[in-house]
Structure 1
Amino acid sequence: MATENKNLSVYDKATIPNAKDFRFGIVVSEWNSEITEGLCQGAMDALLDCGAVVENIIRWDVPGSFELTYGTKKMIKKHEPDAIIAIGSVIQGETKHFDFVCGATAEGIKDLNVKYDTPVIFCVLTDNTMQQAIDRSGGKHGNKGTEAAIAAIKMAALGN
């Protein structure tokens, strides 16, 4: 696993631009909420730690990871944030549904990055088991939400 020997929550604050002047969007899937809420908390904590102002962070919830693309597109058009973090969790089941949801979600977020000038950060866990998702949403591997927030800050700075 790519994250096996990496803590997703570790960053060097001295290398991160100050986020105080940026506006961020966070679009969160309600599916697997025990995972996505942990990811969102990790993202919020990192944004605030790096200077973001809570009033400049907009959160929207969508039913599932598949709906992240649409929710993110609408947020770009309505609020014009400097960067958006799309948060979801898809866990392998017994059918090919996992493959379709993961592929469509990744493609959709990629398409938003190509079409709009607002960077969209892919913070969608695609794990084989619930334990793997727990380990990456605040567990033994840290928090992918933290890593996504740092990417959002860097990309917002790149765009300004």
Structure 2
Amino acid sequence: MKVIEANIVAPDSNIAIVTSRFNNFIGKNLLNGAIDTLKRLGQVKEQNITTIWVPGAYELPLITRVLARSSKYHAIIALGVIIRGDTAHFKYIANSVSMSISNTSMYNEIPISFGVLTTKNIEQAMERAGSKAGNKGIEAALTALEMINILQAIKE
């Protein structure tokens, strides 16, 4: 039986991080966690990390698609915050963003880590961006690193 598992060290990888500016006081924590993880744990060189800010979560799918099609990156990390409001807007944005990013990843065969928080309120988002519930930016970076190495192992 052959088992493929991978570690998170990927020093020569080029990684793009796309972050939503909307609710950026939370997005900055996600971004900082992701960058720190890539550099310290993944040993990714700073010059191999590209960060891109977009207006809101709705804009994440377009930029991730353009990045994926550029063939310049081994993985993409999508970060943002969608907080439930009083209207159905939350549901449509969250569904659209997650499905579009997933489709882009599958179609282009590139890992796109989904670090987009979908929460009931600001407090819950803050908990997931570096307090009680950890930092989902860190988790997204770890996922990207591991997926880079899994894909490489499959290709070998």
Question: Is TM more than 0.5 here?
Answer: yes
Deviations along 1:42-80, whole A, 9 cap, x unmatched? 100111112011000011111111110001111223352
SS of 1:126's partner is: strand
Paired position in structure 1 for 2:135: 143
The runs of 5 or more residues in structure 2 that have no matched partner are 1-5
SS of 1:77's partner is: helix
Q: TM-score, normalised by structure 2?
A: 0.90
Distance across 2 between alignment mates of 1:18 and 1:120 = 17
- Calculate percent identity across the aligned residue pairs: 34
Q: Is the 8 A contact 2:37 2:142 kept in 1?
A: yes
Paired position in structure 2 for 1:156: 148
How many Å apart are 1:140 and its aligned residue?
1.3
Distance across 2 between alignment mates of 1:86 and 1:54 = 18
The runs of 5 or more residues in structure 1 that have no matched partner are 1-14
Q: TM-score, normalised by structure 1?
A: 0.88
How is 1:1-160 mapped onto 2 (pairs within 5 angstroms)?
Answer: 16-50=7-41, 51-78=43-70, 80-160=72-152
- Residues 59, 79 of structure 1: alpha-carbon distance in 2 compared, 3 angstrom cutoff: farther
SS of 1:90's partner is: strand
AA partner of residue 143 (structure 1): N
Q: Is the 8 A contact 1:48 1:54 kept in 2?
A: yes
The size of the alignment, in residue pairs, is: 146
Q: Is the 8 A contact 1:80 1:118 kept in 2?
A: no
Distance across 2 between alignment mates of 1:81 and 1:140 = 32
Paired position in structure 1 for 2:3: none
AA partner of residue 131 (structure 2): G
Q: Is the 8 A contact 2:84 2:121 kept in 1?
A: yes
SS of 1:41's partner is: helix
AA partner of residue 41 (structure 1): N
SS of 1:88's partner is: strand
Q: Is the 8 A contact 2:8 2:142 kept in 1?
A: no
